[in-house]
Amino acid sequence: MQQKLKLTRTWETEREQSIDDSNLLDKLITEEECSIETQKWEPINTEKHEIFTYTIIDGTEKTHRSFTTMIDNIDCCAILGSIAVGAVEINPDQAMILENQKVPILRRFRIQFMPDHQKNPVDDLKMHIGNHEFKFEGTRHQLSNKEANLNSVHNLMDNLTALMGKEELKLANELSASYKIVFLDGPVTKPNSTKKNIVGYIKGMRQIYIPKTKQEILEKLEQGQRTPIFRIPGKFGDKLSWFVCLKKFDSRFYDYKAGLMRFEVAEESNSIDAIEKTIGFANFTSMIFPELAPESFKDSRAPHNPVPVGELEKRIKHLIGNKLIIERGILNYIYNEQ
């Protein structure tokens, strides 16, 4: 039996999600992990590097509405949301958004809290909005790493973010066979199951990882310079990481992290060959990402949101649909069709 959805008093569910390190435990690595590339812990200048075709994957999400529904006399939260994931190919001459049978990816979800004793699946929800039929896939809630209250809108929104992350990683693994490097917006959360040419880039750095005795290097980095590579051990596999200075800001007005971006890649093994391969990746990122950085008057997330990614975001947000039209369609369903 389909439960009746009732609108919550929270009319605005707008939230900019940050796919970064905020869901990981705060920790510092050992000084030994900082000496895997070189014993000299100082800024590294970018060497000239071969330019080749690569791709960047990005996704966006939208929570359209939040609801409550009664299940076994328990008031349960639910949301309707959409995700879209796409990729942009960049070669020395141009950037092109990939559009074929596999990308972009568009999925819509009805994510709902269900009591533990309730084993029935969450029903899909179908409705007509304009000339299109929207299908919101019924999805049972999961525990997020950031929200302890399972029966909450915030937990369900974190679930939507996690679903987007899975689609991004799936697409990255598929494209990794066709490109020398695939860049993924966000951390490499499961290195053991991630292809070794997928490089995650982290915009919002809540964790530095390197020991406090070595953090001074971050303030010294000039545009285009990077730190030496360091290792981040983890229970799902080790990662190799480095910081790149995208833009040098005036230290009188900006925190030193304002122009930095951290990159990471799954480590193949504790071997010299793995380090050498990652050095190539690191040099490539410190050469191209400063060039892709937008100016602040064009993008409020400058310099961390690469220009081609900004264009990709416009495209995949268009696929999700107009915010007001979808909202009116959902309200029409709630008022007239339940």
DSSP states of 47-92 as a string? PP-----EEEEEEEEEEEEEEEEEETTEEEEEEEEEEEEEEEEE-S
Mean local confidence (pLDDT), 47-68: 91
Q: How far is CA 91 from CA 54, 58, 179, 182, in A?
A: 7, 17, 11, 13
- B/e letters for 200-238, b = 16+ CB within 10 Å, e = fewer, are bbbbebebbbbbeebeebbeebebbbbbbbbbbebeebb
Does 22 have pLDDT greater than 50?
Answer: no
Mean local confidence (pLDDT), 256-261: 89
Contact 135/108 with Cβ under 8 angstroms? yes
Q: What's the whole-model pTM score?
A: 0.88
Does 172 have pLDDT greater than 80?
Answer: yes
Give the whole-angstrom CA distance, residue 110 versus residue 149.
18
Which pair of tokens denotes residue 16? 């900019």
Give the model confidence (pLDDT) of 129-149 as tens digits: 988 999 999 999 988 766 678
Which stretch of 23-27, 138-142, 198-202, 306-310 has the lowest confidence by average pLDDT? Answer: 23-27
